[in-house]
Amino acid sequence: MKVAVVGATGLVGTEMLTVLAARNFPVTELIPVASERSKGKEIEFKGKKYKVVTPSEAIALKPDVALFSAGGDTSKEFAPKFAEAGITVIDNSSAWRMDPTKKLVVPEVNGDVLSADDKIIANPNCSTIQMVVALKPLHDKYKIKRVVVSTYQSVTGTGVKAVNQLMDERAGKDGEKAYPYQIDLNVIPHIDVFQENGYTKEEMKMILETNKIMRDDSIKVTATTVRIPVMGGHSESLNIEFENDFDLNDVRAALAAQSGCIVVDDPASLQYPMPKDAHGRDEVFVGRIRRDESQPNTLNMWVVADNLRKGAATNAVQVAELLAEKGLI
């Protein structure tokens, strides 16, 4: 299969190449794509070197599938052009997520919505992906009424500039800033731009995307998203109110049975998920599972995943795998 990776030189694009190789996706020819200024650079994939091309050149090479991770503006400009050429696009930006004509897919949650007509498929926001993987089996079993989520998000979610800012600050050096404030030894309760309602765009993404992916607008979600000086993964504290009561052992069993989910929940042995343990992994880790004793039918839990893997690259590759499995590409 001919596979284009658009944004191949970026953090997520690089991770996509790693994931394609690790999961043995049937790549017969790789087409690394980036902007004009990166044209001609060499990318190594599975021991072979490939030259970076521009999006227009990539379309002419007719890949079967194009994994996009080059920002919303690039996606809006080029995804329709790839689609018109018969190339299936899986887009990691926010450009198409809430478009009613496009599918927003997490394979373990709503992979059944995919069809041969889907030429632009949206990859959800990183913090939404890990949350809905954990919510899906519980919604099926107990019906979720409301979710209160607070996130603790890695600097890798912002990109290379943010990683450099953290490491520069840690080394006591001046350098380019990704954030308006120091991030080392600090916490910034601000991810993406503020909206008129006082929420950030990141918070609204989690709210709106969850309803679309879960195919249930009755689920109420409220979010606070926070950047912390961590690399390796995003963490989330979830408070979930159900219509029906639950047994904690049944909750753990339902989560353990969920594809792509690993339960790490043994407080007596100090076992709980942490971003350093999720780093480089494709699964979503869940722990600190306990009843909310302040109101009925309500559960607290802690969810962790590598935001560059399951939160971005892995989910996109899994969508491609599912399309191939169904014979849709």
> Catalytic positions, please?
126, 234
- Residue 231, judged by CB atoms within 10 A of its CB (0-12, 13-18, 19+), counts as middle
Evaluate whether 149 touches 129 at the Cβ level (below 8 Å). Answer: no
How are the residues of the chain apportioned to helix, strand and coil, as percentages rounded to the nearest 5? 35, 25, 40
Evaluate whether 261 touches 284 at the Cβ level (below 8 Å). Answer: yes
Question: What is the token pair recorded at 307?
Answer: 């935001």
Question: What is the token pair recorded at 242?
Answer: 């159900």
For the residues of 66-133, what is the DSSP string, one character each?
A: EEE-S-HHHHHHHHHHHHHTT-EEEE-SSSSTT-TTSEE--HHHHGGG--TT-SEEEPPPHHHHHHHH
Evaluate whether 226 touches 127 at the Cβ level (below 8 Å). Answer: no
Q: Report which of 98, 311, 298 is spatially closest to residue 207, judged by C-alpha positions.
A: 98
Cα–Cα dist 78/300, whole Å: 42
Residue linked to tokens 């049944």: 250
Evaluate whether 200 touches 192 at the Cβ level (below 8 Å). Answer: yes
Amino acid at 201: K
What's the number of CA atoms in the CB half-sphere (13 Å) around residue 101? 5
